[in-house]
Structure 1
């Protein structure tokens, strides 16, 4: 599931972060360079334009200043002429037509002398009349007009500027005028010359591409360009900006950017002093008009930027894939999780989490491995000893055991099999628990003693009262010296077990060998040699090679003692059976038999008992547990234990079953028949006659006889007679036909019967007996 998640193409936060970082690193510089280039280029152009515009503005302001200066100078020259004498206040202009005409001519001359002059009015306060070449002599009929002109006589200045003086009889035209009171520099003015200017004649109006206008110190617009009249919102915005405190502090030059609609006005202002007032010349240009010539180049730059951005995005994608590849590889290693498919899935956090989990699992497993290593090593060596890893070679075993922290290079290997004598003639059998405790204690003793020779010990418990030990010692000694050291170690073990645990033991030593693959064979040889220990309760030390190399001839089997035992057992004679059994075991041991010989003889005796039971009509499988019998018999270590065990496990159950199946009267009849056969067996004895004399049927007596003796009457009688005939053949000089007639047989039949039973003729049997 986790691997499928990784292969599904799902990407986490880190993937998108890597893409974002790659895009940022590649696209941001291009975007920044392009934006900076465009912005800086435009700003440079704008700054250059504003600088040039400011220079032009200063020049234009100078020209405007010169216009007004020229106008003032001309007006001053005019007012000092004798035509404008104080007597005009009481003059009758109608009666003095010549003087009146001269005044008109002078005014007309002033109007035409300067293009800036639009109209020139002569105001006579006392008469409330004005004179103008086009209008003539007029009386100010309008009270407001009379009041406005009368206010001109107030104040201390003889020459000043007004912006709201409406023209009488021509109110729609400009109200900006230059006022010069008469007489000039007089104490009591009688009138004034009012020069109305034409704003369209100012130099402000000449540049139609710019928004430009002229302001007095009160913020009144004296003149403006055509664009200014077409952009009232721009005019309002500029005037609001000029009224701001930070802008009002600039007294000479000022640069401003005024947003208007979707454009920006680049505004320059210049102040100059005229007639004791600070006038401001304002000029503004839309920024779009300035950068309009660069638009084709801007389009080219943007197209190049688009191509560069597309290439950068492709490079970013490739770079992000390359940057993400190690993270993806790490995710594939640690594995994914279906639950991580969400927008907050962070690969690095997940890898960190998985790594911590891995480290925790690794440390846990490492600790478990270290704790389990002895058991694993022991299990592996046990598999090797059992032949389950026999396909490996010596170098492969070396590598495997080195992985389990066991170095077997330059080592000698020995096998030791130890059999504890858990019970003897004066000791009761131990329980299984006690047996395990004794084995554990004996292994501890061996381990402590093995440390003295720097040996590694591997124990193998056979769970039959014996265990094996594989000793791995450095090869600093020769094989003979190593064998001598092993014998000394075994002697120490025997003494330690005797002194500490008060137990005797048989130790079989196998090896040493310098090849690890020989160890199973060495151990098996030691286990085989253990069966050839002397059958007594004493401690013994055997060398496997020596024991197995000796010829172990089979000892004479006490067949007659076996028959005596079976006969007594069939008759229910327990004491006679025990005596025969004791003599049987003693005979096996006295003949030089080892433990294996004694056990084998006892197994043969048990087989004879079973055969006798079957012949007697009893089922041995209902009486004995064969698997337990063999296992228990393998633990017998001395004659008394054998007799006791045989009495408890074999004789007792057999006699108990025999007692259940036979009555005492029938048993007496069979014993009487056996006694008759013993005394008169060579004569003609009829089972029918004996049954009639006993008062029972022949079939009942025959069945009881077979159950107690294990054979039928005819076979038993034949065997008895043949045994007597063999005694006569060996102990007398009677001829064969005489012996046959003594047994009640015809000589030819006797010869055939004897050869059938013994495998040889009577004559050959006699010759063999004489030869022995």
Structure 2
């Protein structure tokens, strides 16, 4: 009993000591750190206001930048001044679509409209409407009194109610014209703006508003009357203090508020934001947490004392009973004296029982069916290569197989068509499906063959090891069994089946290599969702592979569509790419190799655009992911969701995406018309940019100027014609857009050889 009393005392002491730090920490936090933490929270609150104000500023800056980009859109050019929209309804419809896209891409926009001042004042809201009301026309004409091309102003929220004003962002058009005749107007959605301003009150209480430097209120987070009076008093206090930013404590109706204000630089004006939060909302959690820690520590101490007393009475009782049980119900005192203590006795008896248990377990496992399955799995995967033929036969005899005088045939069963079941199975059900198929194959094979064992790989594939007498003809029976398997799986699981029958093996150690050959041969199946039975003894896979032409033209179109961010076109072209392979009778292995080559080309194009695929797609091995796909629909879905869509999202997120699209459009234009007379001005007209802007953009994106790119393009085509055709040099000069004399001079300057010398050199 002395040892039991010592155990209880030690346990109680440990529990008491473990509770003391909690009490000390709670007291320190509550008594000492409360004031310091309160000040730290106030400072943190001020920092949060500044950071969130920066986020608000970014939202409005994004709207200004987006509107500036749209204002330079070629749709809003000088031709709109003379357009008769009631006749040119296609132009009107195009403008309406553009305005809807602009509104959808601007989160804070209530609506986006276009006003055109001309012989007939017109507005798109977003639908076409002629302005006949003089008061409405005067409201819009007031826009042109501003000197800036883009600015913020108060504008009637609805032309039918000119008294109600709302905040609007205006950009005159055309953006490059010094005499604009129209304007794109984005009206702010006050509810969304209020929600945005609410982020400046981190604790969901308080008020936030935005005003001009002269005190004119622009936006507020709340519209009720109490908030309006509070905002008015607070606004006067901020104006009286002056300065561009600051913070102070403000007492209003016996409540203390912490107030922070600062400036937001907007085009054409300067705004000031003011955020006020009750100080109690900031400091209240400190008091609550401190009291909670102190209370919890005290409760934990009390609970520890109670539990230590209770545990000391109960914890020793199981030890006493266990020692008595292991020692044949002798007294604990005698056992402890013989073995020094109870735990030495428990350890000795446990080792003895474990040894006997392991011996019995080994004998039992030899009789279990899953041991046979494990042996087959190791055998067929080649893990038993170190065993001799006689050792393998001896082990299989021990497991109950008859292996003497037998020939061994393995069948590889591959299930396909999972993506076409339309919800019958989902991703992740492969193990369940394979288990069901394995049961079906086992039942069918046992009804036809005396020795046939199924190996379940849990990945929509199965192995079947068949043992037949050495001289027995087996092909007819195996074909009938294969047909039964195909029909059964088609009918019940609605999946297609590919079965590959290996050559017969006379030795057990040949089984792994023969199965691997059958598994590899599955790559030569037709890459369509259909049932297929292949006998490796009657076909030669090497003769089955026909050279397939790789669709390079489609690859170039796919890469071009991806480079320009055309997601639907890229997805459609990849579908055409796969269809082209399948129409030519490509096998599964050939399809995978071609699609992997396409994936490599796409990654190369992504790197040329200055992006890192590892950052874009993460550290996942995309090639390894793709090689696990075995069905066309899954391949197309993988390309769409894993490659194209993430890249297009990243491309559109970049600030220079529009610029690159214009340059890519110009490059396509040059590649299609290099044989004609082309100038920078004609290309600029085609892309909708002015010549100076296009030249600068071309240099920035490609690294070379416009004329050098066109010259290189023509020279590359001329070299190709000189190498691969017998056309006259005069004709080649015309085909690449040059006069004969000038062509000779510029070709020699570019390559160092005359066209004739270049042709002769490459012929040699």
TM-score, normalization: structure 2?
0.46
Greater CA radius of gyration, 1 or 2? 1
TM-score, normalization: structure 1?
0.46
